[in-house]
Structure 1
Amino acid sequence: MQNSNDIIVRFGNMEDAETTLDIQSSVIAESDYLLTTPEENKKTLLEHKAWIQKRIENDNETYIVAQKDGKVIGFIAFKNGSNRKRTAHTGSFGLLVHKNFRGLGVGEVLLTALLDWAEKNPSIEKVSLAVFSTNQKAISLYKKMGFREEGRKIKEFKISEHEYWDDVLMYKLV
């Protein structure tokens, strides 16, 4: 798809499953910014492959990976709103980058590739996301890329006995 600062971005395939599952598991283990907690993370390789297959088979969904020096270092996946007529023009994405490659522009390169794909897809008109209100680095990236806040789910996430975080809903029309 594209090459930026020695980072190659391409559509993912089944051969990427093990690496992207490892990235997902490591991000879940180290980050406070994902809904899944480490003890809840039980996704098997078979389940992950089935999830990838759904993205690959659906023309209105995608799975994109970033590589550096031949190794997958991050991925972004877009899931279509649904098979219902009134939400088929929308979808949301998840973005994960291996900790050793954060802060190097990998997320921006992946997000650019996703937006390019969405702009070329005649069915997709709106790209959405949800992000923890405390994840300021991600929110800054999304704003830089033209996303706007469209709402919040207040106290959506209970972090501890007396600590709650909002879920920030953002979108970009393509």
Structure 2
Amino acid sequence: MEIEAKTHTLRDGGSLTIRSAIADDAPATLELLRSVVEEGAYTVREPSEFDLTEAGERECIEEDREAAGNLCLVATTGGEVVGMVRASAETYRRTRHFADLDSLWVHAVHRRRGVAGTLLAALVAWARSHPEIEKLGLYVFSTNGGAVRLYETHGFAVEGRYPRDIKFGDGSYADTVAMGLIVKERPAGSNA
């Protein structure tokens, strides 16, 4: 699925454009993901396990563009991809109202400028206007307090916690925090 490109002003006065990803963004989105994985603090995958290819990323972007319940957005400044967010909904009738926020990444040098919040707001707005999506959900490490606060600021609530779900190389643990956001109230007459 696609959204129209829109330009935003960041906290520091910089300009940021949010737009749907295209296949030609694959090298940049792959490099962004690689940079976040190499930080070692925010992903399940460790740097030695990074095996994504440009061809695979191109394929993911194309699938996101074609699937009605998927969205992949990039944030650009000065023509450079500095952030991305990806969400996907199942095709099954019982679960297609729910979209999983698969990833939200921002290059380290562009953090704390409002890039992540702008991407997240665009994703939430898309979900609210989507004819079928009623809820967004995500998982985040308990050690990533900044991300938990960002999601809470945008209306997400903690729905569960998986203790000691993540084990880092130094032997320390993190919980996985499940968060969700209802973007549309349940239809009249439903049982839930």
Q: Aligning the two structures, in what range does the TM-score lie when normalised by the shorter sequence?
A: over 0.9
Aligned length: 173
**Residue correspondence of structure 1 range 65-104 to structure 2 within 5 A:** 65-80=74-89, 82-93=90-101, 94-104=103-113
Q: CA deviation at 1:2?
A: 2.2
Counterpart in the other structure of 2:188: none
**2:6 paired residue among 2, 12, 16:** 2
Aligned pair 1:62/2:66, yes or no? Answer: no
Quick one: structure 1 residues 32 and 57, their matched pair in 2 at CA, closer, same or farther if it must change by over 3 Å?
same
Matching residue's letter, 1:18: P
Matching residue's letter, 2:100: S
Q: CA deviation at 1:7?
A: 0.6
Q: CA deviation at 1:51?
A: 1.2
Matching residue's letter, 1:91: A
**Which 4+ residue blocks in structure 1 deviate beyond 4 angstroms?**
none
Q: CA deviation at 1:54?
A: 1.2
**Cα deviation digits, residues 146-168 of structure 1 (max 9, x gap):** 10000011111112474221100
TM-score by length of 1: 0.96
Aligned counterparts of 2:34 and 2:172: Cα–Cα separation in 1: 25
Counterpart in the other structure of 1:30: 39
Matching residue's letter, 1:87: T
Aligned counterparts of 1:71 and 1:161: Cα–Cα separation in 2: 34
Gaps of 5+ in 1: none
**Residue correspondence of structure 1 range 153-172 to structure 2 within 5 A:** 153-160=162-169, 162-172=171-181
**1:11 paired residue among 9, 20, 40:** 20
**Cα deviation digits, residues 53-75 of structure 1 (max 9, x gap):** 11111011001010111211110
Deviates more, 1:153-162 or 1:133-142: 153-162
Gaps of 5+ in 2: 10-14, 184-192
Aligned pair 1:107/2:116, yes or no? Answer: yes
Larger Rg: 2
RMSD: 1.1
Aligned counterparts of 1:10 and 1:104: Cα–Cα separation in 2: 18
Matching residue's letter, 2:26: A
Q: CA deviation at 1:47?
A: 0.9
